[in-house]
Amino acid sequence: MKEYILENVEQMRKWAGQFANNLKAPVVVALHGDLGMGKSEIARAIIKTLRGADTVVPSPTFTIVQSYDGISHFDLYRVEDASELTEIGLMHAIENDITLIEWPDIAEAVLPENTIHIYISAYQDGRKVCVK
């Protein structure tokens, strides 16, 4: 596991952009952390790095999934039953895309063994990011 201490949101964006440059489809990145820890910020920075800084990246909290030409961004916070995962296209994305998943716990049984897990937690005035 690798750990990074990020003092502010700009450092988080920079770290996520550098991390993004190593991603090749198909790959799953599971983003873990409490509300407000920066899961969406990391996902947004990855998408903007790979699809252009001017890409509009709304949170998928209410739509559950947003797609960006080979990148799928899921927010599973409101998914109540794992049976919904196929219906929302998660399995297709896992097999084909760079798949970013916020609140991935409900999908644990279907995540590939090589899923990259990112754990974000508060640390002093910033965040600690652990990649496993």
Per the CB < 8 A criterion, the answer to whether 103 and 76 are in contact is yes
* Per-chain mean pLDDT for the chain: 96
CATH at residue 36 = 3.40.50.300
Q: Compare 71 and 59 and report the one with higher pLDDT.
A: 71
For the beta carbon of residue 85, count every other beta carbon within 10 angstroms: 19
Residue 61's pLDDT band (cuts 50, 70, 90): confident
pLDDT 10s digits, 68-89: 999 999 999 999 999 999 999 9
Q: Mean pLDDT, to the nearest integer, of 23-32?
A: 98
Residue 62's pLDDT band (cuts 50, 70, 90): confident
What is the residue range of 13's domain? Answer: 2-131
pLDDT over threshold 90, residue 6: yes
How many structural domains comprise the chain? 1
Residue 60's pLDDT band (cuts 50, 70, 90): confident
User: How far is 63 from 95, CA to CA, in rounded Å?
Assistant: 21
For the beta carbon of residue 18, count every other beta carbon within 10 angstroms: 12
Q: Mean pLDDT, to the nearest integer, of 24-38?
A: 97
Per the CB < 8 A criterion, the answer to whether 51 and 21 are in contact is no
pLDDT at 69: 95
